[in-house]
Structure 1
Amino acid sequence: MRLTLDGDWSATVTGDPLRITPRFDFRDFRVRIAEYTNVEERQRFLLNTFGSEPWLWDAPDELRFDQRSRELVGAEFQLAYEAADAEDCARVPVTPPARPSGLHADEVRDFRLEVATELCRAPGDTVLTCLRDLDVLDEPLEARVGIAPDMALLVQHGTVVGWSLTDPVRYLTTGFAAPDPNPPFPATRRLLTECLDLITTPLLDGVRDRNPAALARLRFIDEVLRNQREDRHRTDALLSLIGNLVEDYADRPTGQKP
Protein backbone atom coordinates (compact mmCIF):
# COMPACT_ATOMS: atom_id res chain seq x y z
CA MET A 1 0.00 0.00 0.00
CA ARG A 2 1.16 3.51 -0.80
CA LEU A 3 0.14 6.41 1.47
CA THR A 4 -0.18 10.04 0.42
CA LEU A 5 0.60 13.01 2.65
CA ASP A 6 0.71 16.72 1.92
CA GLY A 7 -0.90 16.33 -1.50
CA ASP A 8 1.90 14.72 -3.50
CA TRP A 9 4.35 13.22 -0.99
CA SER A 10 4.10 9.45 -0.60
CA ALA A 11 5.44 6.53 1.41
CA THR A 12 5.12 2.78 0.98
CA VAL A 13 3.84 0.56 3.80
CA THR A 14 6.39 -2.09 4.85
CA GLY A 15 6.37 -4.94 7.35
CA ASP A 16 8.65 -3.43 10.00
CA PRO A 17 6.92 -1.21 12.60
CA LEU A 18 8.85 0.83 15.13
CA ARG A 19 9.64 -1.02 18.36
CA ILE A 20 9.62 2.25 20.32
CA THR A 21 7.14 2.60 23.19
CA PRO A 22 4.85 5.65 22.73
CA ARG A 23 5.09 8.44 25.30
CA PHE A 24 1.84 10.26 26.04
CA ASP A 25 3.13 13.58 27.37
CA PHE A 26 0.02 14.78 29.19
CA ARG A 27 1.36 18.22 30.10
CA ASP A 28 2.07 19.08 26.45
CA PHE A 29 -0.88 16.97 25.22
CA ARG A 30 1.08 15.09 22.58
CA VAL A 31 2.31 11.60 21.79
CA ARG A 32 5.98 11.01 21.02
CA ILE A 33 7.40 7.91 19.35
CA ALA A 34 11.13 8.51 19.40
CA GLU A 35 14.26 7.51 21.29
CA TYR A 36 15.56 10.99 22.14
CA THR A 37 15.45 11.84 25.85
CA ASN A 38 16.04 15.60 25.96
CA VAL A 39 15.92 18.75 23.84
CA GLU A 40 19.51 18.43 22.63
CA GLU A 41 19.01 14.86 21.43
CA ARG A 42 15.79 15.90 19.74
CA GLN A 43 17.57 18.67 17.83
CA ARG A 44 20.23 16.22 16.62
CA PHE A 45 17.49 13.78 15.65
CA LEU A 46 15.76 16.41 13.50
CA LEU A 47 19.04 17.39 11.84
CA ASN A 48 19.81 13.79 10.89
CA THR A 49 16.36 12.91 9.53
CA PHE A 50 13.85 14.31 7.06
CA GLY A 51 10.08 14.61 6.84
CA SER A 52 7.54 16.81 8.59
CA GLU A 53 8.90 18.99 11.41
CA PRO A 54 8.25 22.33 13.17
CA TRP A 55 9.59 25.47 11.54
CA LEU A 56 9.41 28.92 13.15
CA TRP A 57 5.70 29.56 13.90
CA ASP A 58 4.56 26.44 12.06
CA ALA A 59 4.01 23.37 14.27
CA PRO A 60 2.67 20.42 12.23
CA ASP A 61 2.63 16.81 13.36
CA GLU A 62 5.88 14.97 12.72
CA LEU A 63 6.88 11.87 10.80
CA ARG A 64 10.67 11.52 10.52
CA PHE A 65 12.64 9.26 8.20
CA ASP A 66 16.26 8.12 8.10
CA GLN A 67 18.30 9.98 5.49
CA ARG A 68 19.92 6.82 4.10
CA SER A 69 17.38 4.01 4.46
CA ARG A 70 14.32 6.29 4.09
CA GLU A 71 12.63 4.17 6.79
CA LEU A 72 10.37 5.74 9.42
CA VAL A 73 12.38 6.32 12.63
CA GLY A 74 10.14 8.54 14.75
CA ALA A 75 6.92 10.51 15.05
CA GLU A 76 5.19 13.09 17.20
CA PHE A 77 1.47 13.89 17.23
CA GLN A 78 -0.54 16.64 18.92
CA LEU A 79 -3.95 16.03 20.47
CA ALA A 80 -6.81 18.45 19.88
CA TYR A 81 -7.82 20.19 23.13
CA GLU A 82 -11.55 19.92 22.43
CA ALA A 83 -13.27 16.55 22.13
CA ALA A 84 -15.90 15.83 19.49
CA ASP A 85 -19.50 15.22 20.59
CA ALA A 86 -20.34 11.79 21.98
CA GLU A 87 -22.50 11.07 18.93
CA ASP A 88 -19.57 11.65 16.58
CA CYS A 89 -17.17 9.71 18.80
CA ALA A 90 -19.54 6.74 18.63
CA ARG A 91 -19.22 6.79 14.82
CA VAL A 92 -15.47 6.09 14.84
CA PRO A 93 -15.10 2.74 13.05
CA VAL A 94 -13.56 -0.19 14.89
CA THR A 95 -12.48 -1.92 11.70
CA PRO A 96 -10.21 -2.67 10.03
CA PRO A 97 -7.85 -3.75 12.83
CA ALA A 98 -4.39 -2.18 13.02
CA ARG A 99 -1.75 -4.06 11.06
CA PRO A 100 1.83 -3.65 12.42
CA SER A 101 3.72 -1.90 9.63
CA GLY A 102 6.55 0.46 8.89
CA LEU A 103 6.84 3.23 6.32
CA HIS A 104 9.42 3.70 3.57
CA ALA A 105 9.60 7.18 2.05
CA ASP A 106 9.42 7.14 -1.73
CA GLU A 107 11.86 10.05 -1.90
CA VAL A 108 14.09 12.15 0.35
CA ARG A 109 12.02 15.32 0.58
CA ASP A 110 10.43 17.24 3.41
CA PHE A 111 6.65 17.61 3.62
CA ARG A 112 4.03 18.94 6.01
CA LEU A 113 1.72 16.73 8.07
CA GLU A 114 -1.33 18.71 9.15
CA VAL A 115 -2.31 18.48 12.81
CA ALA A 116 -5.55 16.55 13.38
CA THR A 117 -8.37 18.85 14.52
CA GLU A 118 -10.93 16.43 16.01
CA LEU A 119 -10.37 14.35 19.15
CA CYS A 120 -12.68 11.36 19.55
CA ARG A 121 -12.71 9.54 22.89
CA ALA A 122 -13.81 5.92 23.12
CA PRO A 123 -15.82 4.86 26.20
CA GLY A 124 -13.52 4.72 29.20
CA ASP A 125 -10.84 6.43 27.07
CA THR A 126 -9.59 3.04 25.95
CA VAL A 127 -8.70 4.63 22.60
CA LEU A 128 -7.98 8.23 21.65
CA THR A 129 -8.52 8.98 17.96
CA CYS A 130 -7.51 12.23 16.28
CA LEU A 131 -9.01 12.96 12.85
CA ARG A 132 -8.33 15.47 10.11
CA ASP A 133 -12.02 16.41 10.27
CA LEU A 134 -15.35 14.77 11.06
CA ASP A 135 -16.07 14.16 7.37
CA VAL A 136 -13.73 11.19 7.72
CA LEU A 137 -16.52 9.43 9.64
CA ASP A 138 -18.84 9.50 6.61
CA GLU A 139 -16.93 6.66 4.93
CA PRO A 140 -15.17 3.48 6.14
CA LEU A 141 -11.45 3.40 6.76
CA GLU A 142 -9.28 1.63 4.24
CA ALA A 143 -6.58 0.63 6.71
CA ARG A 144 -4.98 1.17 10.09
CA VAL A 145 -1.20 1.18 9.78
CA GLY A 146 0.27 0.22 13.17
CA ILE A 147 3.55 2.14 13.11
CA ALA A 148 4.37 1.42 16.80
CA PRO A 149 2.84 -0.47 19.75
CA ASP A 150 -0.82 0.63 20.10
CA MET A 151 -0.19 3.52 17.66
CA ALA A 152 -1.80 3.55 14.21
CA LEU A 153 -2.20 5.87 11.25
CA LEU A 154 -5.73 5.93 9.80
CA VAL A 155 -5.97 5.64 6.04
CA GLN A 156 -8.87 6.54 3.74
CA HIS A 157 -8.59 6.53 -0.07
CA GLY A 158 -4.83 6.12 0.25
CA THR A 159 -4.46 9.26 2.35
CA VAL A 160 -3.54 9.54 6.04
CA VAL A 161 -6.60 11.12 7.69
CA GLY A 162 -5.72 10.72 11.36
CA TRP A 163 -4.19 8.50 14.01
CA SER A 164 -5.16 6.58 17.13
CA LEU A 165 -3.55 5.55 20.41
CA THR A 166 -4.96 2.46 22.13
CA ASP A 167 -4.82 2.18 25.94
CA PRO A 168 -3.41 5.72 26.33
CA VAL A 169 -3.24 5.49 30.14
CA ARG A 170 -0.47 2.90 29.79
CA TYR A 171 1.77 5.46 28.10
CA LEU A 172 1.23 8.48 30.37
CA THR A 173 4.41 10.40 31.13
CA THR A 174 5.85 13.91 31.14
CA GLY A 175 8.34 15.40 28.71
CA PHE A 176 10.77 12.89 27.26
CA ALA A 177 10.62 10.40 30.14
CA ALA A 178 9.78 6.78 29.40
CA PRO A 179 6.40 5.55 30.67
CA ASP A 180 6.15 3.22 33.64
CA PRO A 181 6.51 -0.33 32.22
CA ASN A 182 4.16 -1.75 34.88
CA PRO A 183 0.41 -2.02 34.16
CA PRO A 184 -1.63 1.03 35.20
CA PHE A 185 -3.82 0.88 38.29
CA PRO A 186 -7.62 0.93 37.74
CA ALA A 187 -7.78 4.18 39.73
CA THR A 188 -5.38 5.81 37.25
CA ARG A 189 -7.66 4.86 34.37
CA ARG A 190 -10.55 6.61 36.10
CA LEU A 191 -8.38 9.64 36.80
CA LEU A 192 -7.36 9.92 33.15
CA THR A 193 -11.04 10.09 32.23
CA GLU A 194 -11.67 12.70 34.95
CA CYS A 195 -8.82 14.82 33.63
CA LEU A 196 -9.90 14.49 30.00
CA ASP A 197 -13.48 15.33 31.00
CA LEU A 198 -12.13 18.56 32.43
CA ILE A 199 -9.72 19.72 29.75
CA THR A 200 -11.50 18.62 26.55
CA THR A 201 -15.02 19.88 27.35
CA PRO A 202 -16.62 23.27 28.14
CA LEU A 203 -15.63 22.65 31.77
CA LEU A 204 -12.24 24.11 30.87
CA ASP A 205 -13.94 27.33 29.77
CA GLY A 206 -15.65 27.36 33.15
CA VAL A 207 -12.27 27.07 34.86
CA ARG A 208 -10.86 29.95 32.83
CA ASP A 209 -13.96 32.01 33.62
CA ARG A 210 -13.51 31.12 37.31
CA ASN A 211 -16.91 29.48 37.54
CA PRO A 212 -17.22 28.20 41.14
CA ALA A 213 -18.54 24.76 40.16
CA ALA A 214 -15.78 24.27 37.58
CA LEU A 215 -13.10 25.39 40.03
CA ALA A 216 -14.50 23.03 42.67
CA ARG A 217 -14.21 20.15 40.17
CA LEU A 218 -10.66 21.18 39.34
CA ARG A 219 -9.64 21.33 43.00
CA PHE A 220 -11.23 17.93 43.67
CA ILE A 221 -9.31 16.26 40.82
CA ASP A 222 -6.09 17.94 41.96
CA GLU A 223 -6.58 16.65 45.52
CA VAL A 224 -7.30 13.10 44.39
CA LEU A 225 -4.21 13.10 42.18
CA ARG A 226 -2.00 14.33 45.01
CA ASN A 227 -3.36 11.78 47.48
CA GLN A 228 -3.07 8.67 45.30
CA ARG A 229 -0.03 6.73 46.46
CA GLU A 230 0.10 4.10 43.73
CA ASP A 231 1.15 4.55 40.11
CA ARG A 232 2.88 7.82 40.91
CA HIS A 233 4.67 8.21 37.57
CA ARG A 234 1.37 8.27 35.66
CA THR A 235 -0.41 10.25 38.36
CA ASP A 236 2.33 12.88 38.35
CA ALA A 237 1.98 13.11 34.57
CA LEU A 238 -1.72 13.98 34.98
CA LEU A 239 -0.88 16.34 37.83
CA SER A 240 1.64 18.22 35.69
CA LEU A 241 -1.22 19.80 33.73
CA ILE A 242 -3.96 19.81 36.37
CA GLY A 243 -1.61 21.38 38.93
CA ASN A 244 -0.77 24.17 36.48
CA LEU A 245 -4.48 24.91 36.03
CA VAL A 246 -4.94 25.08 39.80
CA GLU A 247 -2.02 27.47 40.10
CA ASP A 248 -3.23 29.68 37.25
CA TYR A 249 -6.92 29.82 38.13
CA ALA A 250 -7.98 28.20 41.39
CA ASP A 251 -5.25 29.69 43.61
CA ARG A 252 -5.46 33.19 42.17
CA PRO A 253 -7.59 35.80 43.97
CA THR A 254 -10.97 36.50 42.36
CA GLY A 255 -10.78 39.27 39.78
CA GLN A 256 -7.04 38.81 39.16
CA LYS A 257 -6.40 37.36 35.71
CA PRO A 258 -3.34 35.27 34.85
Structure 2
Amino acid sequence: MRLTLDDDWAATVTDEPLRSPPRFDFPGQCVRIAEYADVTEWQQFLVQTFGSREWLWDAPDELRFDQADRELVGAGFRLPYEAANAEDSARVPATPPVHPGGLRADAVRDFRLEVTTELCRAPGDAVLTCLRDLDVLDEPLEARIGIAPDVALLVQHGTVVGWSLTDPARYLTTAFAAPDPAPPAPATRLLFTECLDMITTPLLDEVRDRVPAALERLRAIHQTLRDQREDRHRVDALLSLIAELVEDYADRPPRQKP
Protein backbone atom coordinates (compact mmCIF):
# COMPACT_ATOMS: atom_id res chain seq x y z
CA MET A 1 0.00 0.00 0.00
CA ARG A 2 1.18 3.51 -0.86
CA LEU A 3 0.16 6.33 1.46
CA THR A 4 -0.14 10.03 0.66
CA LEU A 5 1.07 12.28 3.46
CA ASP A 6 1.37 15.76 1.94
CA ASP A 7 -0.20 16.31 -1.49
CA ASP A 8 2.33 14.67 -3.84
CA TRP A 9 4.57 13.20 -1.09
CA ALA A 10 4.09 9.46 -0.62
CA ALA A 11 5.49 6.41 1.20
CA THR A 12 5.06 2.67 0.87
CA VAL A 13 3.99 0.44 3.76
CA THR A 14 6.62 -2.15 4.74
CA ASP A 15 6.68 -5.12 7.11
CA GLU A 16 8.99 -3.50 9.68
CA PRO A 17 7.30 -1.32 12.34
CA LEU A 18 9.33 0.69 14.82
CA ARG A 19 10.26 -1.28 17.92
CA SER A 20 10.59 1.63 20.35
CA PRO A 21 7.61 2.08 22.67
CA PRO A 22 5.87 5.45 22.48
CA ARG A 23 6.55 8.15 25.05
CA PHE A 24 3.47 10.17 25.94
CA ASP A 25 5.04 13.46 27.03
CA PHE A 26 2.04 14.74 28.99
CA PRO A 27 3.40 18.23 29.82
CA GLY A 28 4.38 18.68 26.16
CA GLN A 29 1.11 17.10 24.96
CA CYS A 30 2.81 14.97 22.34
CA VAL A 31 3.62 11.34 21.63
CA ARG A 32 7.17 10.55 20.49
CA ILE A 33 8.55 7.33 19.00
CA ALA A 34 12.34 7.47 18.66
CA GLU A 35 15.61 6.27 20.16
CA TYR A 36 17.00 9.65 21.27
CA ALA A 37 17.19 10.25 25.03
CA ASP A 38 18.09 13.94 25.35
CA VAL A 39 18.28 17.21 23.42
CA THR A 40 21.75 16.50 22.00
CA GLU A 41 20.72 13.10 20.62
CA TRP A 42 17.51 14.63 19.27
CA GLN A 43 19.46 17.29 17.35
CA GLN A 44 21.76 14.63 15.90
CA PHE A 45 18.72 12.59 14.96
CA LEU A 46 17.26 15.50 13.00
CA VAL A 47 20.51 16.01 11.09
CA GLN A 48 20.67 12.35 10.10
CA THR A 49 17.04 12.07 8.96
CA PHE A 50 14.52 13.79 6.68
CA GLY A 51 10.75 14.23 6.59
CA SER A 52 8.28 16.37 8.51
CA ARG A 53 9.57 18.24 11.56
CA GLU A 54 9.10 21.29 13.76
CA TRP A 55 10.72 24.43 12.36
CA LEU A 56 10.73 27.82 14.11
CA TRP A 57 7.07 28.82 14.61
CA ASP A 58 5.77 25.93 12.53
CA ALA A 59 4.92 22.80 14.55
CA PRO A 60 3.52 20.01 12.35
CA ASP A 61 3.38 16.36 13.28
CA GLU A 62 6.61 14.50 12.59
CA LEU A 63 7.60 11.45 10.59
CA ARG A 64 11.36 11.04 10.15
CA PHE A 65 13.12 8.75 7.68
CA ASP A 66 16.67 7.44 7.38
CA GLN A 67 18.73 9.23 4.73
CA ALA A 68 20.22 6.01 3.36
CA ASP A 69 17.39 3.47 3.08
CA ARG A 70 14.42 5.90 3.38
CA GLU A 71 12.89 3.75 6.16
CA LEU A 72 10.80 5.29 8.94
CA VAL A 73 12.96 5.74 12.05
CA GLY A 74 10.91 8.04 14.27
CA ALA A 75 7.63 9.90 14.73
CA GLY A 76 6.03 12.59 16.84
CA PHE A 77 2.36 13.53 17.13
CA ARG A 78 0.73 16.46 18.91
CA LEU A 79 -2.43 15.90 20.92
CA PRO A 80 -5.35 18.16 19.93
CA TYR A 81 -6.96 20.08 22.79
CA GLU A 82 -10.31 20.04 20.97
CA ALA A 83 -12.16 17.01 22.34
CA ALA A 84 -14.95 15.53 20.25
CA ASN A 85 -18.24 14.96 22.03
CA ALA A 86 -19.22 11.49 23.21
CA GLU A 87 -21.52 10.89 20.24
CA ASP A 88 -18.76 11.57 17.71
CA SER A 89 -16.20 9.60 19.70
CA ALA A 90 -18.55 6.62 19.65
CA ARG A 91 -18.53 6.77 15.84
CA VAL A 92 -14.82 5.90 15.61
CA PRO A 93 -14.88 2.58 13.72
CA ALA A 94 -13.55 -0.59 15.32
CA THR A 95 -12.39 -1.95 11.97
CA PRO A 96 -10.17 -2.64 10.18
CA PRO A 97 -7.78 -4.18 12.73
CA VAL A 98 -4.27 -2.79 13.15
CA HIS A 99 -1.73 -4.21 10.69
CA PRO A 100 1.87 -3.78 11.96
CA GLY A 101 4.10 -2.10 9.43
CA GLY A 102 6.66 0.58 8.78
CA LEU A 103 7.03 3.12 5.97
CA ARG A 104 9.56 3.67 3.20
CA ALA A 105 9.63 7.14 1.65
CA ASP A 106 9.38 7.33 -2.12
CA ALA A 107 11.98 10.11 -2.25
CA VAL A 108 14.54 11.78 0.00
CA ARG A 109 12.90 15.15 0.52
CA ASP A 110 11.11 16.95 3.31
CA PHE A 111 7.36 17.42 3.57
CA ARG A 112 4.82 18.75 6.06
CA LEU A 113 2.43 16.54 8.01
CA GLU A 114 -0.51 18.57 9.27
CA VAL A 115 -1.45 18.15 12.92
CA THR A 116 -4.78 16.59 13.77
CA THR A 117 -7.59 18.77 15.11
CA GLU A 118 -10.05 16.44 16.86
CA LEU A 119 -9.47 14.15 19.83
CA CYS A 120 -11.81 11.18 20.16
CA ARG A 121 -11.67 9.43 23.53
CA ALA A 122 -12.74 5.81 23.99
CA PRO A 123 -14.46 4.83 27.26
CA GLY A 124 -11.96 4.97 30.10
CA ASP A 125 -9.49 6.58 27.68
CA ALA A 126 -8.36 3.11 26.65
CA VAL A 127 -7.63 4.53 23.19
CA LEU A 128 -7.04 8.10 22.03
CA THR A 129 -7.87 8.66 18.36
CA CYS A 130 -6.73 11.91 16.78
CA LEU A 131 -8.33 12.89 13.47
CA ARG A 132 -7.72 15.44 10.74
CA ASP A 133 -11.38 16.44 11.15
CA LEU A 134 -14.68 14.82 12.07
CA ASP A 135 -15.59 14.31 8.40
CA VAL A 136 -13.29 11.29 8.57
CA LEU A 137 -16.01 9.53 10.58
CA ASP A 138 -18.49 9.76 7.70
CA GLU A 139 -16.75 6.95 5.80
CA PRO A 140 -15.01 3.71 6.81
CA LEU A 141 -11.27 3.53 7.31
CA GLU A 142 -9.23 1.75 4.70
CA ALA A 143 -6.43 0.62 7.01
CA ARG A 144 -4.75 1.00 10.38
CA ILE A 145 -0.96 0.79 10.08
CA GLY A 146 0.69 -0.05 13.41
CA ILE A 147 3.97 1.84 13.03
CA ALA A 148 5.02 1.17 16.65
CA PRO A 149 3.70 -0.64 19.75
CA ASP A 150 0.14 0.66 20.38
CA VAL A 151 0.53 3.48 17.79
CA ALA A 152 -1.30 3.35 14.45
CA LEU A 153 -1.74 5.60 11.43
CA LEU A 154 -5.32 5.80 10.17
CA VAL A 155 -5.76 5.60 6.38
CA GLN A 156 -8.71 6.63 4.25
CA HIS A 157 -8.63 6.73 0.44
CA GLY A 158 -4.88 6.16 0.53
CA THR A 159 -4.28 9.23 2.71
CA VAL A 160 -3.22 9.40 6.36
CA VAL A 161 -6.15 11.05 8.16
CA GLY A 162 -5.15 10.55 11.79
CA TRP A 163 -3.43 8.37 14.36
CA SER A 164 -4.27 6.48 17.53
CA LEU A 165 -2.60 5.53 20.79
CA THR A 166 -3.84 2.49 22.69
CA ASP A 167 -3.48 2.37 26.49
CA PRO A 168 -2.10 5.93 26.70
CA ALA A 169 -1.82 5.88 30.51
CA ARG A 170 0.86 3.17 30.21
CA TYR A 171 3.17 5.49 28.27
CA LEU A 172 2.92 8.64 30.41
CA THR A 173 6.24 10.41 30.91
CA THR A 174 7.96 13.78 30.55
CA ALA A 175 10.15 15.11 27.75
CA PHE A 176 12.70 12.49 26.60
CA ALA A 177 12.37 10.12 29.57
CA ALA A 178 11.35 6.51 28.94
CA PRO A 179 7.98 5.48 30.38
CA ASP A 180 7.83 3.25 33.43
CA PRO A 181 7.83 -0.38 32.19
CA ALA A 182 5.50 -1.48 35.01
CA PRO A 183 1.73 -1.28 34.37
CA PRO A 184 -0.04 1.86 35.58
CA ALA A 185 -1.72 1.76 38.97
CA PRO A 186 -5.55 1.75 38.78
CA ALA A 187 -5.59 5.11 40.57
CA THR A 188 -3.29 6.55 37.90
CA ARG A 189 -5.67 5.51 35.13
CA LEU A 190 -8.52 7.32 36.87
CA LEU A 191 -6.38 10.42 37.40
CA PHE A 192 -5.28 10.33 33.78
CA THR A 193 -8.91 10.59 32.66
CA GLU A 194 -9.55 13.47 35.08
CA CYS A 195 -6.46 15.31 33.87
CA LEU A 196 -7.37 14.75 30.23
CA ASP A 197 -10.79 16.26 30.99
CA MET A 198 -9.03 19.28 32.44
CA ILE A 199 -6.71 19.98 29.50
CA THR A 200 -9.28 19.57 26.71
CA THR A 201 -12.45 21.37 25.75
CA PRO A 202 -14.98 22.15 27.10
CA LEU A 203 -13.52 22.08 30.64
CA LEU A 204 -10.28 23.75 29.57
CA ASP A 205 -12.28 26.72 28.30
CA GLU A 206 -14.03 26.99 31.66
CA VAL A 207 -10.67 26.96 33.45
CA ARG A 208 -9.37 29.72 31.19
CA ASP A 209 -12.54 31.71 31.84
CA ARG A 210 -11.98 31.12 35.58
CA VAL A 211 -15.38 29.54 36.15
CA PRO A 212 -15.37 28.86 39.94
CA ALA A 213 -16.56 25.25 39.70
CA ALA A 214 -13.89 24.43 37.12
CA LEU A 215 -11.15 26.02 39.22
CA GLU A 216 -12.31 24.11 42.29
CA ARG A 217 -12.13 20.88 40.32
CA LEU A 218 -8.66 21.83 39.09
CA ARG A 219 -7.43 22.44 42.63
CA ALA A 220 -8.88 19.11 43.81
CA ILE A 221 -7.10 17.17 41.04
CA HIS A 222 -3.89 19.02 41.80
CA GLN A 223 -4.06 18.04 45.46
CA THR A 224 -4.89 14.41 44.68
CA LEU A 225 -1.87 14.17 42.36
CA ARG A 226 0.38 15.62 45.03
CA ASP A 227 -0.92 13.16 47.62
CA GLN A 228 -0.64 9.95 45.58
CA ARG A 229 2.43 7.96 46.58
CA GLU A 230 2.44 5.09 44.07
CA ASP A 231 3.34 5.27 40.38
CA ARG A 232 5.13 8.59 40.89
CA HIS A 233 6.80 8.68 37.46
CA ARG A 234 3.44 8.82 35.70
CA VAL A 235 1.78 10.93 38.37
CA ASP A 236 4.57 13.51 38.19
CA ALA A 237 4.03 13.72 34.44
CA LEU A 238 0.36 14.52 35.03
CA LEU A 239 1.17 16.87 37.90
CA SER A 240 3.60 18.92 35.81
CA LEU A 241 0.91 20.21 33.44
CA ILE A 242 -1.87 20.46 36.03
CA ALA A 243 0.41 22.52 38.28
CA GLU A 244 0.95 24.97 35.41
CA LEU A 245 -2.80 25.41 35.03
CA VAL A 246 -3.17 25.97 38.77
CA GLU A 247 -0.44 28.61 38.71
CA ASP A 248 -1.81 30.36 35.63
CA TYR A 249 -5.52 30.34 36.45
CA ALA A 250 -6.27 29.22 40.01
CA ASP A 251 -3.52 31.07 41.91
CA ARG A 252 -3.28 34.31 39.95
CA PRO A 253 -6.05 36.89 40.10
CA PRO A 254 -7.54 37.77 36.71
CA ARG A 255 -6.08 40.79 34.96
CA GLN A 256 -8.02 43.96 35.46
CA LYS A 257 -9.42 45.48 32.30
CA PRO A 258 -8.18 49.02 31.67
TM-score band by shorter chain is over 0.9
Identity of aligned residues (%): 78
> For 1:207-253, what per-residue CA distance to the aligned partner results, in whole angstroms no more than 9, with x for missing partners?
22222111100000001111111110000000010011111111223
**Matched ranges for 1:153-172 at <5 A:** 153-172=153-172
Other-structure match for 2:201: 201
- Note if contact 2:83-2:202 (Cα within 8 Å) is conserved in structure 1: no
Deviating more after overlay: 222-231 vs 38-47: 38-47
Amino acid paired to 1:237 = A
Other-structure match for 1:77: 77
Deviating more after overlay: 92-101 vs 245-254: 245-254
- State the 1:256 CA deviation: 6.4
Counterparts in 2 of 1:231 and 1:2: CA distance versus 1, 3 Å: same
Match of 1:45, SS state, is helix
- Note if contact 1:52-1:63 (Cα within 8 Å) is conserved in structure 2: yes
Counterparts in 2 of 1:134 and 1:36: CA distance versus 1, 3 Å: same
Other-structure match for 1:20: 20
- Note if contact 1:12-1:105 (Cα within 8 Å) is conserved in structure 2: yes
Q: If the length of structure 2 is used for normalisation, what is the TM-score? A: 0.97
Other-structure match for 2:226: 226
What is the rounded CA distance, in whole Å, between the counterparts of 1:59 and 1:100 in structure 2?
27
- Indicate the RMSD between aligned Cα atoms, in angstroms: 1.2
Other-structure match for 1:188: 188
Amino acid paired to 1:192 = F
Match of 1:84, SS state, is coil
What is the rounded CA distance, in whole Å, between the counterparts of 1:32 and 1:53 in structure 2?
12
Q: If the length of structure 1 is used for normalisation, what is the TM-score? A: 0.97
Amino acid paired to 2:90 = A
Match of 2:84, SS state, is coil
What is the rounded CA distance, in whole Å, between the counterparts of 1:96 and 1:143 in structure 2?
6
Amino acid paired to 2:18 = L
Amino acid paired to 2:87 = E
Amino acid paired to 1:146 = G
Deviating more after overlay: 221-230 vs 38-47: 38-47
Other-structure match for 1:132: 132
- State the 1:59 CA deviation: 1.0
- State the 1:56 CA deviation: 2.1
Counterparts in 2 of 1:171 and 1:256: CA distance versus 1, 3 Å: farther
What is the rounded CA distance, in whole Å, between the counterparts of 1:79 and 1:157 in structure 2?
23
- State the 1:40 CA deviation: 1.8
What is the rounded CA distance, in whole Å, between the counterparts of 1:161 and 1:254 in structure 2?
39
Other-structure match for 1:90: 90
Question: Which stretches of structure 1, 4 residues or more, deviate above 6 A after TM superposition?
Answer: none
- Note if contact 1:82-1:199 (Cα within 8 Å) is conserved in structure 2: no
- Extract unaligned runs of 5+ from structure 2: none
What is the rounded CA distance, in whole Å, between the counterparts of 1:145 and 1:253 in structure 2?
47
Match of 2:220, SS state, is helix
What is the rounded CA distance, in whole Å, between the counterparts of 1:218 and 1:69 in structure 2?
48
Amino acid paired to 2:86 = A
Match of 2:16, SS state, is coil
What is the rounded CA distance, in whole Å, between the counterparts of 2:188 and 2:82 in structure 1?
21
Other-structure match for 2:148: 148
